[in-house]
Amino acid sequence: MVPGAAGWYFFALWLPACVAAHGLRIHDYLYFQVLSPGDIRYIFTATPAKDFGGIFHTRYEQIHLVPAEPPEACGELSNGFFIQDQIALVERGGCSFLSKTRVVQEHGGRAVIISDNAVDNDSFYVEMIQDSTQRTVDIPALFLLGRDGYMIRRSLEQHGLPWAIISIPVNVTSIPTFELLQPPWTFW
Structure confidence at residue 27 as a pLDDT band (50, 70, 90)? low
Position 187 scores a pLDDT of 61
- Residue 135 CA from chain centroid, whole number: 23
| Cα dihedral value 72, 75, 76, 80, nearest 10 | 40
* Higher-confidence position of 13 and 48: 48
Per residue in 141-187, pLDDT (tens digit) is: 999 999 999 999 999 999 999 999 999 999 998 888 877 888 988 76
Residue 63: what are its φ and ψ, rounded to 5°?
A: -145, 150
Per residue in 122-135, pLDDT (tens digit) is: 888 999 999 999 89
> Is residue 12 predicted with pLDDT exceeding 60?
no
Position 1 scores a pLDDT of 38
Nearest to 102 by CA among 83, 118, 121, 82: 83
Instruction: Please give the tally of structural domains in the chain.
Output: 1
Per residue in 28-75, pLDDT (tens digit) is: 899 999 999 999 999 999 999 999 999 999 999 999 999 999 999 999
> Is residue 8 predicted with pLDDT exceeding 60?
no
The CA distance from 29 to 46, in Å, is: 6
Print the domain residue range for 98: 30-179
CATH number (domain holding residue 135): 3.50.30.30
> Is residue 20 predicted with pLDDT exceeding 50?
no
Residue 145: inside a domain: yes
Region 67-94 average pLDDT: 97
Residue 108: inside a domain: yes
Residue 2: inside a domain: no
Residue 188: inside a domain: no
